[in-house]
């Protein structure tokens, strides 16, 4: 077992961290390059080198973030032990109450974006938050937090084939020098000897430099210290490179969740390697090719000009024609002596090539046009639904990773809420008679959180369109409530048909449902536009024609355009 309290043990840990930190420079560099493409050249002077007229990187990352973590999750808390069900219900209400804090969801969404370009990392822990009255005296208490860890500060044991097998992981923390020297958790004999910035690796990969140099803009003196979690030893070791010979700043026993304070999100494992393959790294070549073609087309468009040409002997007539107003008649000797010619302009094959590359990018990134709802991809809703189902295979797989990551993060967050020995939490429980206030006392949390199998399960992180809600409501009514109606009525529960029709009218955007039924002789009230003020429904005339079409929507239009432009002769060349 490694003992970082001893000089030899701390030096061995430092050497291992330094080696892995140097090996991670390439991954940090890749991440920074992808982030520059994400923000584009107009973000700052130090962002992307060239302008990206079609920023496909930003579009793809935003679409996936919206599809994977569009809104804050809700959780259910389950336990297999009946005597703990009351406490589990209160914990569920407490966690959902805490999730109203936008900082938690913001950290999860930032991790999702980071996972597309490298690896999403968050740290879950507690920090001092004040004092509370408990057991007749004032006690310090700490509140849980969820913070993002940037890849530029992250280090992990790259000698291990996977992160789960790593002996250590951690990150570099920037702190003000006076905060380090006054930190009561640090060894004062070591902290007071830190005088300047500690070594932390190559700052050229710092993401903050994308918005410009920051060398002389910070207030105060800042230093960097390493905070490393030793998985086997269950220790948190904090040390500074500059005073390594004096020993660590602190070595603490880890008393939190078994996997440590940090969680990672990624999608593509690389066999035998701890670092994953970022999806955006595979998108980058097509992104570059599309924008290179777009810049070329823009240069061609700017060179395009249309001018009149005339023989030298017809100079006077050409000048008269140039100065003539629109609609004016000008006399010339020979109407064919002066001609209008076009030069330059967009090359059709280059334009077709760009469109084809854009389609390839959408396909390679998982059919972005369908995932993002950017355009209909088929001629009918049924065909679109089939395409959505096919394109969602990758999204479902990625969503499972995000759900597992979110579950781990919120489980640790709930752990820190649960194990606070001083705070009494006020919560609101849902009940058949309405919201009911309750309290979660420290006495109810006097057993081990994990041994009693309390399970946190997040859900509802993605937006549900009205059509999907309509399908769910219809399925619930026709397959659950109505078949069980006789049994429900025996217990005094009656199906609420007017409420069902109101939901149908709302989610289908059909206020005309109010014309179909009445409630005790009165019109059905529906949410939406005022029924009395709308015009009479138009007469719908349908004509059925059997036709053979290619792919519909924007992709089909682009495909037809590509075929026509590829078949056309190059500019300046007559057809054969």
Question: What does the pLDDT read at residue 352?
Answer: 92
- How far is 3 from 410, CA to CA, in rounded Å? 31
Comparing 244 with 519, the larger pLDDT belongs to: 244
Question: What does the pLDDT read at residue 527?
Answer: 54
Q: What is the pTM of this model?
A: 0.79
What integer is the mean pLDDT of 422-428?
Answer: 88
Q: Is the pLDDT of residue 499 over 70?
A: yes
Question: What does the pLDDT read at residue 550?
Answer: 47
Q: Is the pLDDT of residue 295 over 70?
A: yes
- How far is 172 from 227, CA to CA, in rounded Å? 6
Question: What does the pLDDT read at residue 129?
Answer: 73
What integer is the mean pLDDT of 111-123?
Answer: 96
Question: What does the pLDDT read at residue 532?
Answer: 38
Q: What is the CA radius of gyration of the chain?
A: 33
Q: Is the pLDDT of residue 168 over 90?
A: yes
Banded model confidence at residue 491, pLDDT cuts 50, 70, 90: confident
CB atoms within 10 A of CB 360: 13
- φ and ψ at residue 264, rounded to 5 degrees: -120, 150
Question: What does the pLDDT read at residue 27?
Answer: 95
| Percent of the chain at pLDDT exceeding 70 | 81
pLDDT tens digits, one per residue of 326-373 = 888 888 787 777 788 888 888 989 999 999 999 999 989 988 888 877
Question: What does the pLDDT read at residue 404?
Answer: 93
What integer is the mean pLDDT of 502-530?
Answer: 71
- The set of residues, in sequence order, having a beta carbon less than 8 Å from that of 25 and lying 6+ positions away, is 201, 202, 205
Instruction: Give the residue carrying structure tokens 């998982």.
Output: 366
Banded model confidence at residue 324, pLDDT cuts 50, 70, 90: confident
- How far is 504 from 470, CA to CA, in rounded Å? 6
Question: What does the pLDDT read at residue 375?
Answer: 60
* Coil, helix or strand at residue 245: helix
Q: Is the pLDDT of residue 212 over 90?
A: no
pLDDT tens digits, one per residue of 528-565 = 444 333 444 444 444 455 544 444 555 556 667 666 76
Tokens read off for 104: 């938690």
Tokens read off for 355: 């469109």
């Amino acid at each position: 077992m490694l003992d970082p309290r001893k000089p030899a043990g701390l030096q061995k840990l430092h050497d291992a961290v330094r080696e892995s930190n140097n090996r991670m420079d390439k991954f940090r560099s890749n991440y920074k390059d992808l982030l520059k493409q994400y923000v584009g050249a107009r973000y700052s002077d130090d962002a992307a080198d060239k302008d990206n007229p079609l920023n496909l990187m930003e579009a793809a990352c935003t679409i996936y973030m919206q599809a994977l973590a569009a809104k804050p999750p809700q959780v259910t808390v389950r336990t297999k032990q009946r005597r703990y069900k009351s406490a589990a219900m209160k914990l569920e209400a407490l966690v959902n109450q805490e999730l109203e804090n936008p900082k938690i969801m913001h950290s999860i969404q930032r991790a999702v974006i980071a996972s597309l370009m490298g690896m999403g990392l968050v740290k879950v822990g507690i920090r001092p938050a004040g004092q509370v009255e408990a057991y007749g005296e004032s006690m310090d208490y700490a509140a849980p937090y969820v913070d993002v860890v940037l890849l530029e500060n992250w280090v992990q044991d790259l000698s291990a084939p996977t992160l789960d097998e790593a002996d250590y992981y951690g990150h570099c923390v920037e702190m003000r020098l006076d905060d380090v020297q006054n930190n009561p958790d640090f060894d004062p004999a070591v902290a007071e000897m830190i005088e300047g910035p500690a070594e932390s690796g190559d700052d050229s990969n710092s993401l903050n430099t994308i918005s410009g140099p920051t060398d002389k803009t910070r207030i105060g003196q800042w230093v960097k210290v390493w905070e490393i979690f030793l998985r086997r030893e269950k220790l948190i070791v904090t040390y500074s490179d500059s005073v390594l010979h004096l020993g660590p700043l602190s070595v603490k026993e880890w008393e939190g969740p078994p996997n440590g304070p940090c969680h990672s999100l990624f999608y593509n494992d690389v066999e035998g390697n701890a670092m994953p393959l970022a999806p955006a790294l595979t998108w980058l070549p097509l992104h570059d090719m599309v924008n290179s073609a777009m810049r070329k087309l823009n240069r061609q468009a700017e060179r395009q000009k249309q001018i009149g040409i005339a023989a030298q002997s017809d100079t006077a007539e050409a000048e008269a024609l140039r100065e003539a107003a629109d609609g004016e008649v000008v006399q010339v000797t020979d109407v064919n002596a002066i001609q209008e010619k076009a030069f330059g302009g967009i090359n059709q094959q280059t334009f077709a090539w760009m469109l084809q590359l854009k389609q390839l990018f959408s396909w390679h990134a998982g059919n972005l046009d369908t995932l993002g709802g950017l355009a209909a991809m088929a001629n009918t809703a049924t065909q679109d639904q089939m395409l959505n189902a096919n394109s969602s295979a990758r999204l479902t797989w990625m969503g499972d990773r995000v759900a597992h990551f979110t579950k781990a993060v919120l489980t640790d967050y709930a752990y820190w809420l649960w194990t606070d020995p001083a705070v009494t939490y006020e919560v609101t429980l849902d009940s058949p008679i309405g919201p009911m206030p309750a309290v979660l006392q420290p006495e109810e949390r006097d057993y081990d959180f994990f041994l009693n199998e309390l399970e946190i399960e997040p859900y509802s992180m993605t937006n549900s369109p009205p059509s999907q809600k309509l399908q769910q409501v219809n399925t619930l009514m026709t397959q659950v409530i109505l078949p069980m109606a006789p049994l429900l009525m025996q217990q005094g529960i009656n199906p609420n048909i007017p409420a069902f029709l109101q939901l149908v009218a709302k989610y289908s955007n059909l206020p005309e449902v109010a014309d179909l039924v009445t409630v005790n002789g009165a019109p059905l009230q529906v949410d939406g536009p005022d029924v009395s003020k709308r015009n009479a429904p138009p007469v719908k005339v349908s004509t059925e024609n059997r036709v053979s079409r290619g792919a519909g929507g924007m992709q089909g239009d682009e495909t037809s355009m590509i075929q026509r432009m590829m078949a056309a002769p190059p500019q300046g060349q007559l057809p054969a």
